[in-house]
Structures are given as structure tokens and as C-alpha cells.
């Protein structure tokens, strides 16, 4: 059973729903250590002062904010405690909005909200009301001593709390150059739509997986077993050096039609299923 980050409540109006905040994402990044090439000894990070060039113990380190070049304001643990938000362990809904009003770029990291037994009915009521009205709850929540803006959304049988970026964290796209005045021709648009149509199919998340991670793991396991590392798969075919957009669209459309006619979609799906490495088989057996 997953260990809850905290147990608290969803609050909206005078309604309180007891819940547990659970992690919804498992990362599978590969972690490597830096080793001395000569004897494979672990490399340690040394804290060294840029002024006196001495190694510094962790107890002698303080945190500072560089407010101008070379000038710092230092802060103690007590200073941070003074401004830490109160850990109320509650999801305080402050408003409800249409999901379509929120730019997906604001969404960041999801968590599951698992109801306590005594809150299951109210939990289901809120979930179904949000789904029927196509609304999300905008809430404030404190996680690990930091206050976050978050959206409360129905997801199947669950309510998901998705942390959001604040508005000032999103880069203003007007600071970049985009082709707002470009207008494709009717013929280009027609072929582009046909290409999209031939490549359209229902989304299946299980079809996609981290091929790079699997190939690195296979190489590691081969090396650990004293075997030759698997040969790299053939690289993607070199693309034609075609500069005419219409020609590129037509070639893409023909290739897509050929793949569909040959049933490559189902083959690719079968090939994309993750293969169990020895390490993964060992974990499954455990």
C-alpha cells in the first residue's frame, strides 16, 4: 500500500471531505554515480570556498540571496520558518472554473486524493458534480512547506489534485517570434488535413515507453553478465532534401497511407510493448 504524503481534507464551502494525498507519478530515471576511471572509486562532491579555497563543513554553510553582483543577504533556518506557510494539510477550494478556461501549460504535477471511509459519499458527490458541470476546483494547498496553486479534477473514479504554475512562472510568448501572419495555401491545408487524418487513431498510453532507458538497461545487464552489449538498432532513414513544402506533404501522405495499408500501425504497437529486462523480471518475482 502506498504511503500517503499527508492525511487531511478537501474543503469547499462548509463541506469537509477527509482524504489522503497520494503520489500519482512514479519516475523511472536511471541514476549513475561518478567513478574514478582508474580504480572505480566513488567521486565525492567537495564543498570548497571560492574566497579562501578551504574545504567547508556543512555546519559552517549558510544560505544567501545575491541581490546584486557579489552582494548577498543571508538567511537562517529561523528566517525561513518565519515565512513558511502553515501546513494545514487541507485542499482549500477557492473557486470553480470551466476546465476549458485553463491553459494546459499551467498544469504541472498530479497527485491522487484518496477518500477516507467516512468521506466516500461526499467525495463521489463532488467528483460527479465536477464531471457533470465540466468544472475544476481551483485550490490552495501546502505540500512540503510550500504553498501551491492547484486544480481539483475528476479522473475516472478518482479526484486528482494537479499542482499548477503561477502566472508569473509562464514565459510570455509575445517575447518570442511566431509566424502569426503566415497563411497556408488551400492546397497545402487540404493535404495537411489528409495527412493528419491518415495518422489519426485513438490514444493508447501503453503504446509508448522509454526506449532509451530500456536500451541502456539492456547494455548494463549485458556488461554485468560479461556479455557483449546489444548492437544499436538501425538509425532512422535519411530524409529527402526536399525544400518544397507541398512535395514534403505529398511524400509524407503517401508514406502514411502505405504504412496503414501494410498494417504497420498494429505492428508498431506490438513492437512498442516494453520488454522485461532481467532487473524488471527480478522485481516482478519479488
With a cut of 70, which residues of the chain have pLDDT below it? 1-2, 84-87, 232-243, 264-286
| pLDDT tens digits, one per residue of 157-181 | 999 999 999 999 999 999 988 888 8
Buried b (16+ CB within 10 A) or exposed e, 187-204: eeeebbebbeebeeeeee
The predicted structure's pLDDT at residue 29: 82
3-state per-residue secondary structure call for 118-148: HHHHHHHHHHHHHHHHCEEEEEEEEECCEEE
The predicted structure's pLDDT at residue 234: 59
Closest CA to 265 of 211, 219, 200: 200
Domain annotation for the chain: domains and CATH numbers: 6-26+84-169 (2.40.290.10), 186-285 (no CATH)
Mean pLDDT of the chain: 84
Identify whether the C-beta of residue 61 lies closer than 8 Å to the C-beta of residue 44.
Answer: no
Question: Chain centroid to CA 268: how far?
Answer: 24
Buried b (16+ CB within 10 A) or exposed e, 258-274: eeeeeeeeeeeeeeeee
Identify whether the C-beta of residue 137 lies closer than 8 Å to the C-beta of residue 93.
Answer: yes
The neighbouring-strand residues paired with 138 are: 95, 151
DSSP 169-183: GSPPGGGS---TT--
Residue 239: left if φ>0, alpha if ψ -120 to 50, beta else—which one?
A: beta
The predicted structure's pLDDT at residue 80: 80
Amino acid at each position: 500500500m502506498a504511503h500517503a504524503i499527508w492525511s487531511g481534507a478537501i474543503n469547499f464551502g462548509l463541506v469537509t471531505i477527509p482524504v489522503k494525498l497520494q503520489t500519482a507519478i512514479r519516475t523511472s530515471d536511471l541514476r549513475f554515480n561518478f567513478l574514478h576511471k582508474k580504480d572505480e572509486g566513488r567521486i565525492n562532491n567537495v564543498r570548497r570556498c571560492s574566497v579562501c579555497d578551504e574545504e567547508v563543513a556543512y555546519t559552517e554553510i549558510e544560505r544567501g540571496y545575491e541581490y546584486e553582483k557579489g552582494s548577498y543577504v543571508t538567511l537562517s533556518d529561523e528566517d525561513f520558518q518565519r515565512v513558511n506557510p502553515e501546513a494545514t494539510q487541507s485542499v482549500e477550494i477557492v473557486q470553480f472554473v470551466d476546465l476549458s478556461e485553463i491553459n494546459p501549460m499551467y498544469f504541472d504535477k498530479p497527485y491522487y486524493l484518496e477518500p477516507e471511509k467516512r468521506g466516500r459519499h461526499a467525495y463521489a458527490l463532488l467528483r460527479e458534480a465536477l464531471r457533470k458541470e465540466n468544472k475544476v476546483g481551483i485550490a490552495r494547498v501546502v505540500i512540503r512547506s510550500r504553498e501551491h496553486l492547484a486544480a481539483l479534477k475528476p479522473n475516472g473514479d478518482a479526484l486528482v489534485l494537479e499542482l499548477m504554475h503561477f502566472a508569473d512562472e509562464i514565459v510570455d510568448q509575445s517575447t518570442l517570434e511566431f509566424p502569426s501572419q503566415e497563411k497556408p495555401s488551400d492546397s497545402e491545408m487540404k493535404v495537411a488535413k489528409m495527412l493528419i487524418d491518415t495518422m489519426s487513431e485513438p490514444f493508447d498510453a501503453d503504446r509508448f515507453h522509454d526506449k532509451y532507458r530500456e536500451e541502456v538497461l539492456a547494455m548494463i545487464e549485458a556488461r554485468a553478465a560479461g556479455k557483449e552489449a546489444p548492437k544499436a538498432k538501425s538509425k532512422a532513414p535519411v530524409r529527402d532534401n526536399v525544400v518544397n513544402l507541398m512535395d514534403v506533404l505529398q511524400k509524407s501522405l503517401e508514406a502514411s497511407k502505405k504504412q496503414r495499408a501494410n498494417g504497420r500501425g498494429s505492428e508498431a504497437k506490438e513492437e512498442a510493448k516494453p520488454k522485461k529486462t532481467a532487473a524488471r523480471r527480478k522485481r516482478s518475482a519479488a
